[in-house]
Structures are given as C-alpha cells and as structure tokens.
Amino acid sequence: MSVTTDVTTTSNGETATVTATGRFSLPTFDKQLAVKPLFAAVGVADLAIEQAKDVPADVTAAVKALPTQLKASVSTATEKAGDVYSALTIRGQRLVTQIRRQPATEAAIAEGKEAVRKAEAAATAARKSARAGEKALEDAAAKIG
C-alpha cells in the first residue's frame, strides 16, 4: 500500500511530495463521538434549569394544599382519640364491674353501709341528746328566774 502526502517544508517554504510504502494507518478522529459527552453535560444542565423553574409553582401548590391536609390530619387524629376514649371507657367499666363482684368488695360495701347506718343513728342520738340538754337548760333557767 502506498500513501501520497503533501508536506510543507518550513525551512525554505517549498512543498515536497513524499511517497511512503508499507502498511500503516493513521488513527481516525470521530468528531461526532468526541462531542457527545459535552452535549450530555449541556443536556443535564438544561434539564436541571427546566426543573428548577417548576420549583416555585410546586412550593406554592404545596403551601395551598397544606391547610386541607392539616384539617384532614386533625380530623383523623380527633376520630382516633374518640375511638381510644370509647375503648378505654368500655375497659374501665368492665374492670369496675369485676371489682364490684369480688367477695372482698361486696363485704367492704356492706361494712361501709353498716358504718353509714351507725353514723346516722349516732347523729340522731346526738340531736336528741342536744335537744334534751337544751330543754333541761331552759327548765333550769325558768326555775332560777
């Protein structure tokens, strides 16, 4: 294979033709392949800028939606609190019923009722005694003068 190449000699400004024989090839340079990474970088930057333009609108939409979301969250929390309150009420009622049915509790209630009856009887006796004392004092005062 022979290759003919024009070479410019810089020492005297003349052009010479050189003929070479042999097997060699010059590396090829693919310009389209070389610029692809640059185009990809420019594309990434353009995409980032395009998406950044949507950020203010997205933030505004999120802020406008926030009160509705907040109301829904509060409503859900209130409903859950009501459910928990109801469940605790039922649980407490069951426990109190179980405690009331225990023999020790029934005995304590009976003793409490008996103590109340005795206290009421003592109060009645104290009132009668106070009235009798008052009457005796009035009678004594009437005799003295």
Per-domain residue ranges of the chain: 2-26+33-127
What's the rounded mean pLDDT across residues 55-78?
A: 90
C-alpha dihedral sign at 54, 60, 66, 68: negative
Look up the pTM and report it: 0.40
What's the rounded mean pLDDT across residues 78-85?
A: 95
Phi, psi of 34 (to 5 degrees): -70, -30
Is residue 12 within 8 Å of residue 23, measured between CB atoms?
A: no
Q: Model confidence at 32, in pLDDT bands (50, 70, 90)?
A: confident
Question: Would the pLDDT of 44 be above 50?
Answer: yes
What's the rounded mean pLDDT across residues 38-59?
A: 89
pLDDT tens for each residue of 86-143:
999 999 999 999 999 999 999 999 999 999 999 999 999 999 999 999 988 888 888 8
Is residue 26 within 8 Å of residue 41, measured between CB atoms?
A: no
Question: Would the pLDDT of 82 be above 90?
Answer: yes
Q: Give residue 61's pLDDT.
A: 87
What's the rounded mean pLDDT across residues 76-95?
A: 95
Q: Give residue 19's pLDDT.
A: 53
What's the rounded mean pLDDT across residues 15-34?
A: 65
C-alpha dihedral sign at 119, 122, 128, 131: negative
